[in-house]
Each structure stands twice: as C-alpha cells, then as structure tokens.
C-alpha cells in the first residue's frame, strides 16, 4: 500500500483494461500479480514498482508515461484516481 507521505501515481489501468475487454483476473494473471493488488493499483492505493510499471507498459504496448503519471490524466474517465 502507498504510504500517506508517498506521492500519488495516477494511472489509466482500469480504462486500458476495459478498452481491451479484460477482467481484473485476466490482467492480474498476465502481469503475475494478485487480483487484489491490481485493484489497489487501479484505485491509486498502491504505487507500482519500476519492474511492474515496465511489465504493464510492455503488456499494453504503450510508453510508461501513457499509463502512469504524477498528474491526473484529465476528463477521459481513467479510473477512480483521476
């Protein structure tokens, strides 16, 4: 879990997963993480480590900065932590 003193890393995980028709379970298995950890990550309660960020980037075929940001992504509806 993210410590209160840690900055929030915003992400587009839920939107990308939905665009591709993936369940949380399917994406969690593909990334080799638990279903619960994926849920925490999507909600912004958990910041990914560098290895996980690269695995997510490679899985979706997108640059890391297209998935994770220190700033909210805007009005596109990317997850609850926008």
Output 46 or 62, whichever has higher pLDDT.
62
Residues 70 and 9 sit within 8 Å (Cβ to Cβ): yes
CATH entry 3.50.50.60 includes domain 10-66 = no
Residue extents of the structural domains in the chain: 10-66
40-60 residue pLDDT tens: 999 988 899 999 999 999 999
Output 44 or 20, whichever has higher pLDDT.
20
Cα of 39 vs its chain's centroid, Å: 9
What is the 3 state secondary structure string of the chain? CCCCCCCCCEECHHHHHHHCCCCHHHHHHHHCCCHHHHHHHHHCCCCCCHHHHHHHHHHHCCCHHHHEECCCCCCCCCCCCC
pTM: 0.82
Cα(6)–Cα(32) distance, integer angstroms: 24
- Look up tokens 């805007």; give the residue: 74
């Amino acid at each position: 879990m993210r410590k209160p003193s840690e900055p929030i890393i915003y992400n587009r995980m839920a939107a990308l997963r939905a665009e591709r028709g993936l369940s949380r379970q399917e994406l969690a298995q593909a990334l080799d993480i638990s279903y619960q950890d994926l849920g925490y990550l999507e909600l912004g309660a958990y910041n990914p480590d560098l290895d996980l960020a690269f695995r997510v980037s490679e899985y979706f075929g997108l640059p890391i900065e297209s998935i994770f940001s220190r700033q909210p992504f805007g009005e596109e509806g990317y997850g609850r932590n926008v």
